[in-house]
Amino acid sequence: MTPPTLHLVTHMGHDGPWLLIKTAKEIRKRRAYIRTQKPEHERALRLRLLKIVKAPLPPQLFKADAAWAKADAAWVKADAAYYKASAAWDKVINSPEGVKFHAQVCGCAWTPEQPDILRQLEPSS
């Protein structure tokens, strides 16, 4: 799957960073939101200032953008590794060995099938 084209855009919101990187879809959604949800007296200004930047980035901004893109790619990779490790952890702690260990160290009524420990507060039938 090809990633969407990114655009530099000015003033997506009134109090955020003045320059953001967004997809065309995000820009269209924001413009539609402004047209329908923002106070009427603000709409013209908001739409006029929300622009796609056509000018090349100055060197400092280009360098910062490249560093940000590199960090973002590392974050995406780390995030995927985190979710993979988290799924492995969940699988292990809910395995028969994990359930046995839980019973040994805790002894409460928790099970993978009934993970809500607060149900122990309910009166017995």
What is the SS3 assignment for 68?
helix
pLDDT, one tens digit per residue, over 69-88 is 899 999 999 999 999 999 99
46, 34 Cβ separation under 8 angstroms = yes
Q: What is the pLDDT of residue 65?
A: 84
pLDDT at residue 125 tops 70: no
pLDDT at residue 122 tops 80: no
Contacts of 52 (CB under 8 A, 6+ apart): 7, 8, 9, 27
Show the tokens assigned to 78: 């780390």
What is the SS3 assignment for 6?
strand
pLDDT at residue 11 tops 80: yes
pLDDT, one tens digit per residue, over 24-58 is 999 999 999 999 999 999 999 999 999 999 988 88
- pTM of the complete model: 0.55
* Spatial CA neighbour of 26 closest among 46, 52, 57: 52
